[in-house]
C-alpha cells in the first residue's frame, strides 16, 4: 500500500494535488452544511480552520494545474505550512474541548485578526461565527469536528511531507 502511494506521488503528482483539492472542497461544503442546514454556529477557531482549509484547497488546485517540479516543490512546502497551521489550531481547539478552562477563551485574538484582515470585506458572511470553542455540538464516531479536522490536516501534512521528500529525491 505504501509503495503504491509513494509511486503515485512521483508519477502523478498533479492528480494527487487535484484529489486533495477536491477532498478539501468537500470538507468545506460539509462545514457549510453543518452551519446552514444543521444550524451549528462556528466558533472563531472553526473560522480560522476554514481559512486554512481554503488555503490548502486553492494551493493544491494551483499545484494540479502546473507541470513544473519546481512549482510542485514550492507549493508542497506552502501546503505543508498551511496544513500544519490548520492542525495546530484544531489541536488547540480539541485541547480546549477536553480540558475546558474556567473562563472561556477560545481565541478571540484569532477572531480579532480575522475581523481586521483586509480580505474580510471580500469574504462572504458565511465565515462569521460566534460559537463557543469548548462546546462539542456534533460528533462522529466519538470525535468532535475539531478532532476530525485535526486528523484531516495531519493526514494532509504527512502527505505533503511525503510529496516534498519524493520531489526532492527525483530532482
Whether the Cβ atoms of residue 60 and residue 160 lie closer than 8 Å to each other: no
**Would you kindly state where each structural domain of the chain is located, as residue ranges?**
2-98+107-169
Buried b (16+ CB within 10 A) or exposed e, 56-95: bbebbbebbeeeeeeebbebbbbbbbbbbbbbbbbbbbbe
Would strands 143-144 and 139-140 be described as parallel, antiparallel, or unpaired? antiparallel
- Grid coordinates standing for 123? 469574504
Q: Residues 140-154: what's their mean pLDDT?
A: 82
The alpha carbon dihedral of 46, 41, 131, 138 has a sign of negative
Kindly report which listed range (14-23, 26-35, 115-124) carries the lowest average pLDDT score: 115-124
Distance between CA atoms of 43 and 52, rounded to whole angstroms?
14
**Would you say residue 7 has pLDDT above 70?**
no
- Grid coordinates standing for 17? 494535488
Eight-state DSSP code of residue 62: H
Higher per-residue pLDDT: 135 or 25: 25
Whether the Cβ atoms of residue 166 and residue 9 lie closer than 8 Å to each other: yes
pLDDT on residue 5? 47
What is the average pLDDT value for the chain, to the nearest integer?
75
pLDDT on residue 40? 78
Given CATH 1.20.1550.10, say whether it is the number of domain 2-98+107-169: yes
Alpha-helix residue ranges (DSSP H) falling in the chain: 2-11, 13-33, 44-65, 69-98, 108-116, 145-169
pLDDT tens per residue across span 28-81: 888 888 788 887 777 777 888 888 999 999 999 988 888 788 788 888 889 999
Whether the Cβ atoms of residue 2 and residue 158 lie closer than 8 Å to each other: no
pTM of the complete model: 0.71
Amino acid at each position: 500500500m505504501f509503495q503504491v502511494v509513494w509511486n503515485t506521488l512521483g508519477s502523478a503528482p498533479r492528480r494527487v494535488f487535484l484529489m486533495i483539492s477536491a477532498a478539501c472542497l468537500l470538507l468545506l461544503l460539509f462545514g457549510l452544511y453543518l452551519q446552514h442546514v444543521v444550524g451549528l454556529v462556528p466558533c472563531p477557531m472553526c473560522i480560522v480552520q476554514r481559512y486554512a482549509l481554503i488555503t490548502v484547497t486553492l494551493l493544491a488546485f494551483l499545484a494540479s494545474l502546473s507541470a513544473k517540479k519546481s512549482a510542485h516543490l514550492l507549493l508542497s512546502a506552502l501546503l505543508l505550512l498551511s496544513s500544519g497551521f490548520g492542525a495546530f489550531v484544531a489541536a488547540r481547539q480539541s485541547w480546549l474541548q477536553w480540558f475546558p478552562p474556567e473562563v472561556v477563551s477560545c481565541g478571540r485574538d484569532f477572531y480579532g485578526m480575522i475581523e481586521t484582515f483586509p480580505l474580510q470585506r471580500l469574504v462572504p458572511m458565511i465565515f462569521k461565527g460566534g460559537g463557543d470553542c469548548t462546546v462539542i455540538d456534533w460528533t462522529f464516531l466519538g470525535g468532535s469536528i475539531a478532532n476530525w479536522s485535526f486528523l484531516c490536516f495531519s493526514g494532509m501534512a504527512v502527505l505533503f511531507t511525503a510529496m516534498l521528500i519524493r520531489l526532492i529525491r527525483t530532482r
